[in-house]
Amino acid sequence: MAEKITKDMTFFEVMQAYPASVAVLQKHKLGCVGCMGAQNESLEQGANAHGIDVNVLVKDLNDAIA
């Protein structure tokens, strides 16, 4: 299965296209819903800033929307 969500997408793009992603982001302790940076920050940038493995995050997000 090809990934629908990629590390280059912004948090805003992911949350807008896939509402189920919000629960996954919260599970990873990412408060993206209320963050101004979510509109411009890629998943990779945000994961790196918060010490999260972006590959694990993207896999969890894609699993949630499958």
Per-residue pLDDT reduced to its tens digit, 30-61: 877 777 777 889 999 999 999 999 999 999 99
Q: What are the boundaries of each domain within the chain?
A: 11-65
Cα distance between residue 22 and residue 48, in whole Å? 18
CATH architecture observed for domain 11-65: Orthogonal Bundle (1.10)
**Quick one: pLDDT band at residue 2, thresholds 50, 70, 90?**
low
The whole-number pLDDT of residue 5 equals: 97
